[in-house]
């Protein structure tokens, strides 16, 4: 095989000659000689979402108002994936959610939240509630910027009067660490001094940051090995942005909260406004990775790479709640779209996200084999405990809502949803939805769902004989299957079939 070519190239060349494009239900992976099993310690599912944003599992949750807010983003990053917080929120609200994820876990907090000696206990409790902060330890900074004390959980527990000022209860003896202390050193010093918060000052006396016990111990004792954290020890998180008038304001807020990656979330990524937005973000916020989409054609992928993107989101119309293909008559079946876009930018270092249409766990190894580096999912992760929205008991079923961001309801409620589809008219009669609103069965906790999805991915990789995603890209090949082959793929000819945890006799 020529260098740079892959086994799947001849499969797709043939498909192209026949004028055919395929999706998940049209193909299956060929098995290959294997020295790896799903449970081998060598099995490695790590990948990339964008040039600098790594993944321990190649699963990303969709920026949708029924899928990803702070709770989902925290949970999925703890499982090794990534959550993209949706943009049907004001720039301030969205940034606050990013902040919640960033502050959830911090080995070293370089800009800790400080309180003033004049604040009352009541004011701090209110701030905790408003911002969703779970921690109780705060450094106390006076009006000249000097750190003058520390308040911890005990101070809140033993003070009943909410009007008490912080200056009355704070401890002024602060044990601090040397500026160059390592996380292991911080762990030892905290064990010795029995202090749960360890400030670090620079040589000039200015505050460098703090170590907090829960996170330091978790990291040193390796109980957080699955967590997807950035170089600063915070959970990795992304946020969706649009190309409308609030782009600059949104980027400003998100940058302040140290978002790792923004996703330019539009229905037509190969457009002037998206390319201009990519250039704007790269010019003024070069420290944040930029992923753009959605696209489904190879020429579009090339345009985005030329504009400077760090990642590409592929998928126009495969989503479970999406009607774009039938309303606008456009789009390419998802696996061919992934393959064509990935092939067009092969060697550029820009990862491909296969977005939408994942019904079964077996679709994930197929998407990756076609050239994707990760998959983004809405429906498969919606309806979990961590997705936004209430659990509803209805007609003997327990459900949660799941809707398209271009559904009528989402478009009426959110300006950013109208912008995603390039629509400005607010009159409901004049809106042209490209998706639907629905309910799906409540599935329980995210970790169970993700474990089944990753289990399926590892099984697929084991059958192909690929111990990592790069090997899957190299070794994978496809069979095209017929309608009979598809029927044979599913359980058939049975009576009273029981649901399996990852197969319900209906779609995920
Ligand atoms: P599923 O995982 O549910 O199949 O697809 C989720 C993806 O569908 C999202 O990540 C997003 O790209 C896309 N999407 C969300 N709302 C949509 C509407 Cl209304 N129309 C078209 N695509 C939509």
Cβ of residue 265 lying under 6 Å from some atom of ligand 1: no
The mean per-residue pLDDT over the stretch 476-497 comes to 95
Q: How far is the CA of 145 from the centre of ligand 1 (A)?
A: 47
Active site residue 232: no
Cβ of residue 354 lying under 6 Å from some atom of ligand 1: no
Helix (H) / strand (E) element for 121: namely: helix 121-131
Least confident segment among 132-141, 187-196, 387-396: 132-141
Cβ of residue 405 lying under 6 Å from some atom of ligand 1: yes
- The region that residue 266 occupies, defined by phi over 0 for left and psi between -120 and 50 for alpha, beta otherwise, is beta
Q: How far is the CA of 98 from the centre of ligand 1 (A)?
A: 21
Model pLDDT for residues 40-78, shown as the tens digit of each residue: 999 999 999 999 999 999 999 999 999 999 999 999 999
Residue ranges of alpha helices (H) inside 212-297 are: 213-220, 247-256, 272-284
Helices (H) and strands (E) in the chain, counts: 19, 21
This prediction has a pTM of 0.85
Q: How confident is the model at residue 256 (pLDDT cuts 50, 70, 90)?
A: very high
Cβ of residue 356 lying under 6 Å from some atom of ligand 1: yes
Model pLDDT for residues 429-457, shown as the tens digit of each residue: 788 999 999 999 999 999 999 999 999 99
Q: How far is the CA of 320 from the centre of ligand 1 (A)?
A: 7
What DSSP string describes 19-71? T----GGGEEEPP---S--TT-TT----EESSSS-EESSSEEE---TTT-SHH
Mutation probe of ligand 1 site: the residue of 319, 329, 420 with most atoms within 8 A of C-beta: 319
Cβ of residue 362 lying under 6 Å from some atom of ligand 1: no
Cβ of residue 296 lying under 6 Å from some atom of ligand 1: no
Cβ of residue 404 lying under 6 Å from some atom of ligand 1: yes
Cβ of residue 64 lying under 6 Å from some atom of ligand 1: yes
Query: Which one from 250, 313, 418, 420 is the annotated catalytic residue?
Result: 420
For residue 402, the ligand 1 atom closest to its alpha carbon is 3
Residue 507's pLDDT is 45
The mean per-residue pLDDT over the stretch 341-348 comes to 97
Residue 424 has pLDDT above 60, yes or no: yes
Cβ of residue 417 lying under 6 Å from some atom of ligand 1: no
Distance CA 367, CA 365 (A): 6
Residue 107 has pLDDT above 90, yes or no: no
Q: How far is the CA of 65 from the centre of ligand 1 (A)?
A: 11
Sign (positive or negative) of CA dihedral 307, 373, 382, 28: positive
The mean per-residue pLDDT over the stretch 85-113 comes to 89
Q: How confident is the model at residue 506 (pLDDT cuts 50, 70, 90)?
A: low
- How many residues are present in the chain? 508
The mean per-residue pLDDT over the stretch 469-489 comes to 97
The residue whose two tokens read 């998206």 is: 274
Residue 508's pLDDT is 41
The mean per-residue pLDDT over the stretch 70-93 comes to 97
The mean per-residue pLDDT over the stretch 127-141 comes to 85
Question: Hey, what are 10's tokens?
Answer: 């001849």
Mutation probe of ligand 1 site: the residue of 378, 384, 434 with most atoms within 8 A of C-beta: 378
For residue 313, the ligand 1 atom closest to its alpha carbon is 12
Cβ of residue 322 lying under 6 Å from some atom of ligand 1: yes
The mean per-residue pLDDT over the stretch 404-419 comes to 87
Residue 202: CA count within 13 A, CB half-sphere: 6
Mutation probe of ligand 1 site: the residue of 76, 367, 405, 418 with most atoms within 8 A of C-beta: 405
Residue 232's pLDDT is 76
CB neighbour class for 221 (10 Å; exposed up to 12, middle 13-18, buried from 19): exposed
In whole numbers, what is the pLDDT of the chain averaged over residues?
93
Q: How far is the CA of 236 from the centre of ligand 1 (A)?
A: 22
Residue 473 has pLDDT above 90, yes or no: yes
For residue 436, the ligand 1 atom closest to its alpha carbon is 19
| Domains, in order of start, for the chain | 7-104+228-486 (3.20.20.70), 108-220 (3.10.580.10)
Q: Tell me what percent of the residues of the chain surpass a pLDDT of 70.
A: 99
The mean per-residue pLDDT over the stretch 370-396 comes to 96
Cβ of residue 320 lying under 6 Å from some atom of ligand 1: yes
Supply the residue whose CA is at minimum distance from atom 15 of ligand 1: 404
Distance CA 374, CA 50 (A): 10
Residue 323's pLDDT is 96
Q: How far is the CA of 323 from the centre of ligand 1 (A)?
A: 9
Active site residue 322: yes
Check if the beta carbon of residue 42 is closer than 8 Å to that of residue 36: yes
Residue 106's pLDDT is 66
Q: How far is the CA of 317 from the centre of ligand 1 (A)?
A: 7
Distance CA 334, CA 340 (A): 10
Cβ of residue 65 lying under 6 Å from some atom of ligand 1: no
């Amino acid at each position: 095989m020529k260098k740079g070519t892959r086994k799947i190239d001849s499969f797709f060349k043939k498909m192209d000659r026949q004028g055919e494009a395929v999706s998940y239900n049209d193909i299956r992976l060929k098995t290959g000689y294997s020295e790896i099993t799903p449970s081998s310690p060598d099995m490695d599912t790590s990948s990339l979402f964008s040039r600098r944003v790594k993944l321990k599992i190649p699963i990303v949750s969709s920026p949708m108002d029924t899928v990803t807010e702070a709770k989902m983003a925290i949970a999925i990053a703890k499982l090794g994936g990534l959550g993209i917080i949706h943009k049907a929120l004001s720039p301030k609200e969205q940034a606050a959610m990013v902040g919640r994820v960033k502050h959830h876990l911090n080995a070293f907090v370089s800009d800790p939240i400080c309180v003033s000696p004049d604040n009352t206990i009541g004011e701090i409790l209110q701030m905790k509630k408003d911002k969703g902060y779970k921690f109780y330890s705060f450094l106390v900074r006076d009006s000249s910027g000097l750190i003058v004390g520390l308040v911890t959980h005990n101070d809140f527990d033993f003070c009943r009067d909410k009007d008490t000022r912080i200056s009355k209860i704070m401890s002024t003896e602060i044990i601090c660490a040397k500026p160059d202390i390592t996380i292991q050193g911080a762990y030892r010093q905290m064990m010795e001094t029995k202090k749960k918060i360890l400030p670090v000052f620079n040589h000039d006396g200015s505050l460098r940051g703090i170590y907090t016990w829960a996170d330091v111990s978790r990291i040193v004792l390796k109980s957080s090995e699955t967590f997807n954290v950035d170089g600063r020890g915070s959970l990795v998180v992304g946020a969706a942005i649009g190309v409308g008038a609030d782009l600059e304001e949104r980027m400003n807020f998100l940058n302040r909260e140290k978002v790792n990656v923004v996703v330019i979330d539009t229905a037509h990524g190969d457009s002037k406004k998206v390319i201009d937005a990519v250039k704007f973000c790269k010019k003024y916020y070069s420290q944040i990775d930029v992923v753009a989409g959605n696209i489904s054609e190879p020429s579009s992928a090339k345009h985005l790479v030329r504009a400077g993107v760090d990642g590409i989101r592929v998928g126009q119309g495969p989503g479970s709640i999406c009607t774009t293909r039938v309303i606008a008559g456009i789009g390419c079946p998802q696996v061919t779209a992934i393959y064509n876009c990935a092939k067009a930018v092969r060697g550029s270092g820009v990862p491909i996200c296969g977005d939408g249409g994942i019904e079964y766990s077996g679709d994930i190894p197929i998407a990756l084999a076609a050239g994707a580096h990760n998959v983004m999912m809405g429906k498969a992760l919606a309806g979990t405990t961590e997705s936004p929205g209430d659990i509803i008991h209805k007609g003997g079923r327990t459900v949660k809502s799941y809707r398209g961001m271009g559904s009528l309801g989402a478009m009426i409620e959110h300006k950013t949803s109208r912008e995603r589809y390039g629509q400005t008219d607010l009159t409901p009669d004049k809106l042209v939805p490209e998706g639907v609103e629905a309910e799906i069965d409540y599935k329980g906790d995210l970790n169970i769902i993700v474990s089944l999805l990753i289990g399926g991915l590892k099984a697929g990789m084991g059958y192909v004989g690929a111990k990592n995603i790069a090997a899957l890209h190299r070794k994978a090949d496809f069979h095209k299957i017929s309608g009979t082959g598809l029927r044979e793929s599913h359980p058939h000819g049975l009576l009273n079939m029981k649901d399996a945890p990852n197969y319900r006799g209906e779609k995920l």
